[in-house]
Structure 1
Amino acid sequence: MKVPQLLLILGSQSARGLSLTAYILETFSYAINLAYSSRNGFPFSTYGENLFLTIQNVFITILIILYNPTPSSRKLTTAPNPTGKLLIAIFVVLVTSFGLFTAPSSALAVAQLGTLPLSLFSKLPQIAQNHRARSTGQLSAFAVISQIGGCAARLFTTAQEVNDPLVAAGFALALALNLVVGVQMYTYWGKGVVGQETDIKASRDDIPLEVYRQEKVDIVVQPQSPPPYQATHQHTQSSAYGRKWARKVD
């Protein structure tokens, strides 16, 4: 389901339109459901896709960190350095995995109940970002359609094989929110240019003013020097002498 999204990000070297918060919450929700179903001994056919979805989502989250730097790092003179964020993300993944598979069953049941608001909040940032940009950016249509079909199929198999209302409610809510994303993708199809212009304008706004400020050059025109006093005095005397003789001739 997520491989086309991975290939799309790698091919374009961009994660434009993908919400980092949405993918973190979605990955956490998948991981909780995976741990809960595994610890309760459910058939692997009822939760097996969550294992692969969790792994793929972890890679997508790392790619979003790599290819979608924060506005403060968009400088002409300094390149983004996401190494610290990557290390933090890997540490969080390891700690979360250890905590989910060692937590008591009662705490895990509460966490499974928490996947309902997690599913809600994991899709809301992506829905809000699509609406704000009037574009779905690098969001994969295949991944969205697969999520809709997968949630519908999983809702059916859960009702038939598990009959757990917590799990069923989580898939029902995920189906409704994925349908909203699907409608947005249909509505904003082919409107990725708007998102690009928004990103370009945002990156321009983050560039310091000194980059655009041109150096002021003062052009000084030297004034013409006045003629020497002696030459001016001689020219005045010769003019007066000429006029004096002209009057005598008259």
Structure 2
Amino acid sequence: MPLRVTTLALFFLFFLSFPSRQQLEGGNMSVESTMRYFVSNYLSYAVVVGASILKVPQILKVWQNNKAAGISLLSLFMELLSYIISTSWGVVRGLPFRDYGENFFITVQLIVLLLLVARLQKATRRASLVLATELLVLYMFASGQVPRTIHECALNGQVFFNMFSRVPQIYTNYQTRCRGQLSFLTFFLAFGGGVVRIMTTALNVPWEKGKIVMLIQFSVAAALNAIILAQMLYYGIAGRKSERENRRRTEAKSLKHQ
């Protein structure tokens, strides 16, 4: 259901953001400028709309199965801190919502997912304390009470936050040799959104507003999400192969007993 709503919203935004017929026929926009217009406007809003359901598949999977196996709580904490820094930077610098709106939506979803996973992993008290601290950081940054130099340092450090938010999950996947309760759709959307953000940041964000830092940030995030996707595919295939072999052995043993 969320995916259908998002698809309809994307088509709606496409018709709203695409250049008018008069602009195209009047020769006011070349093919190159039309493509730049499309990427900088439509794809920016598409990322924001897609981000509104980014963590929903993961939340639903954990909620329905009532399990949080294979999900690193530390990764969620670090990921939330990373999005808090990005969201507050967009707010305090006055960037258009299309350039940071997905960070806001993902932040809200991460809070829900974090509390859900913490409850299932019996770590609610610790998670609540860390979450309260991170929300205080969000308020301090977004309200402009933190000097710009410190905020810029935090934004520059997001490359490391992105690494720390994914490396524990990558290591957990390596240890367990399975995907656990991870949602493939969530990480696929995150990877696709990161790739699109690289393009829109290159076109929309001025150099003086942190363009190079944001480009590095989205590039690292996309690469790490690609690693997790590769792990999920590999361990998923290996797991199904192992299940088939175990089934064959069980059937062979039952035939011998007969």
Normalised to the residue count of structure 2, the TM-score between the two structures is 0.67
**C-alpha separation in 2, matches of 1:64 and 1:91:** 16
- Tell me whether 1:62 sits opposite 2:115 in the alignment: yes
Gaps of 5+ in 2: 1-53, 243-258
Q: Equivalent residue for 1:173? A: 220
Offset at 1:86? Answer: 4.5
Offset at 1:91? Answer: 2.2
**C-alpha separation in 1, matches of 2:111 and 2:128:** 13
Offset at 1:85? Answer: 2.5
Q: Which runs of 4+ in 1 moved over 3 A?
A: none
Indicate the SS of the match to 1:16: coil
1:52-93 per-position Cα deviation (integer Å, ceiling 9, x unaligned): 101111111111111123xxxxxxxxxxxx452254144223
1:76-130 per-position Cα deviation (integer Å, ceiling 9, x unaligned): xxxxxx4522541442233222222221212111110010111111110000000
- AA aligned opposite 2:91: S
Q: Structure 1 residues 64, 161: closer, same or farther in 2, change over 3 A? A: same
1:18-68 per-position Cα deviation (integer Å, ceiling 9, x unaligned): 001111001100110111122112121111000010111111111111112
Q: Equivalent residue for 1:24? A: 77
Q: What percent of counterpart residues are identical?
A: 30
Indicate the SS of the match to 1:135: coil
- AA aligned opposite 2:213: L
**C-alpha separation in 2, matches of 1:55 and 1:114:** 22
1:116-172 per-position Cα deviation (integer Å, ceiling 9, x unaligned): 111111110000000110011000011011011000011110001004101111000
Q: Structure 1 residues 83, 129: closer, same or farther in 2, change over 3 A? A: closer
- Tell me whether 1:188 sits opposite 2:235 in the alignment: yes
- Tell me whether 1:98 sits opposite 2:139 in the alignment: yes
Indicate the SS of the match to 1:188: helix
**C-alpha separation in 2, matches of 1:84 and 1:62:** 10
Larger Rg: 1
- Tell me whether 1:6 sits opposite 2:59 in the alignment: yes
- AA aligned opposite 2:71: L
- AA aligned opposite 2:189: S
Normalised to the residue count of structure 1, the TM-score between the two structures is 0.69
- AA aligned opposite 2:135: L
Indicate the SS of the match to 1:18: coil
Gaps of 5+ in 1: 70-81, 195-250
Q: Equivalent residue for 2:100? A: 47
Query: Which structure has the highest helix share of the two?
Result: 2
**C-alpha separation in 1, matches of 2:225 and 2:159:** 14
